[in-house]
Amino acid sequence: MSPTHNTRIAVIGAGVIGCMIAREILAADPGAEVTVLDRDLVSSGATRRSAGLHFPRGVTPAVRAMASESQRYYAQLAAHRPGLPIHPLGMTVVAPESAGRRLEEVYLPESNLRRVDDAPSGAVTLPEGTAAWAGDGCQFADVPALTQALAAELRPRVEFREGVTVTGVEPDTEGVRLTLCTGDVLTARQVVLAPGPWLAHPAWRDLVAPLGARVKKIVALHIEDVPSDGDGAVLFHDEDAFLLPYRARGHWLFSYTCSEWDVDPDTVDPGLTPANRAEAVEILARYAPRLADRCRSGRVFCDAYNPGGGPLVRTLTDDGRLLFAGAAGGSGYRLAPAIAAETVRLLSKHAA
């Protein structure tokens, strides 16, 4: 007979969202019994490949509210634990000269956007018809290191099961029964699925399918050019792309919007294809031709997206015992605190 264990809340997925959810569960109820499970090590999935850029922006009112909530959270976290790898960063938005009103509708008031005359960096030029706005509230984090630090803080009060794949999820009237690859069975009163791009895992594929979330490829180029100490992030508004100075690694990162949908995180090729590089370089060459000539490598993975926009925090069963949290569309780090807060609100609402 398989060993059976019990826990009050199980969180499936030990990326930045899953660990942030566990942290907020304990913040709301320090005595809660929480187990976090992951098929790999903490922060080994999409979190390991995160660019780690946070900026105060939201395309919809709901996302703007989440971005504002997360901004306050990270500011307090960095002040409370200054050793965490969260670093303030300058920010410049590049957009058409006529875009001022549109930018005000998307960027939060705390961004304090103001028109500037010069290009944001010696590597970046402003094509005719474009302008630059400087802004506040931007930061960069080493997301895998931050997630591991949060997990280390949680370990005295949270049980982590790394390298443990959940092979079955069976809701019933008493809770949710999780069968594990180890042969164990874990029964939880409530379960949060935070699987990142692993939406189609057989254990929960049918449960998650009604949400309509999809998985899209994410590509970022590594530019072999050393940023200066004064360089900040450059956001290209209309292209939904950004340049990030990766000073700790000694190069720039350029992220653009790749349009390859319905990829599988277990089979997506981590190599940079000629087509992906060409798409990115075409955008980058408009603004930073010198950097475009130095694109030699990059990072490729994927993330789950909500076609309706913004992350999904939803109950998957009528009794609210099983929840989904994610589909943040590449903004998992940026919105993780707000996703966690909403998850805890739902857990509390449906607590037995």
The 3-state DSSP class for residue 201 equals coil
- Confidence band for 1, pLDDT divided at 50, 70 and 90: very low
Contact (CB, 8 A) for 326 and 306: no
Of 18-22, 59-63, 238-242, the range with the lowest mean pLDDT is 59-63
H or E element in which residue 87 lies: strand 86-88
10-45: pLDDT as tens digits: 999 999 999 999 999 999 999 999 999 999 999 999
For domain 4-48+144-212+308-349, which architecture applies?
3-Layer(bba) Sandwich (3.50)
Domain spanning 91-137+214-305: CATH superfamily? D-Amino Acid Oxidase, subunit A, domain 2 (3.30.9.10)
Residue 47 has pLDDT above 90, yes or no: yes
H or E element in which residue 304 lies: strand 295-305
The overall pTM is greater than 0.75: yes
Q: Are strands 166-172 and 130-135 parallel, antiparallel or unpaired?
A: unpaired
Residue 198 has pLDDT above 80, yes or no: yes
Please name which of 320, 311, 277, 321 lies closest in space to residue 297, comparing C-alpha atoms: 277
Contact (CB, 8 A) for 131 and 115: yes
Domain ranges (residues) in the chain = 4-48+144-212+308-349, 91-137+214-305
DSSP state, 228? P
- Confidence band for 248, pLDDT divided at 50, 70 and 90: confident
| Residue 134 C-alpha from the chain's centroid | 24
Residue 122 has pLDDT above 80, yes or no: no
pLDDT at residue 172, as a whole number: 84
pLDDT at residue 173, as a whole number: 81
The 3-state DSSP class for residue 97 equals helix
pLDDT at residue 3, as a whole number: 67
Within 10 angstroms of residue 185's Cβ, the number of other Cβ atoms is 17
H or E element in which residue 299 lies: strand 295-305
Residue 308 has pLDDT above 90, yes or no: no
Site of tokens 């100490």: 229
Residue 115 has pLDDT above 60, yes or no: yes
Q: Give the chain's length.
A: 352
Residue 77 has pLDDT above 90, yes or no: yes
Residue 74 has pLDDT above 80, yes or no: yes
252-284: pLDDT as tens digits: 999 999 999 999 999 999 999 999 999 999 999
Within 10 angstroms of residue 315's Cβ, the number of other Cβ atoms is 16
- Cα separation, 107 vs 112, in Å, equals 9
Q: Are strands 185-193 and 86-88 parallel, antiparallel or unpaired?
A: unpaired
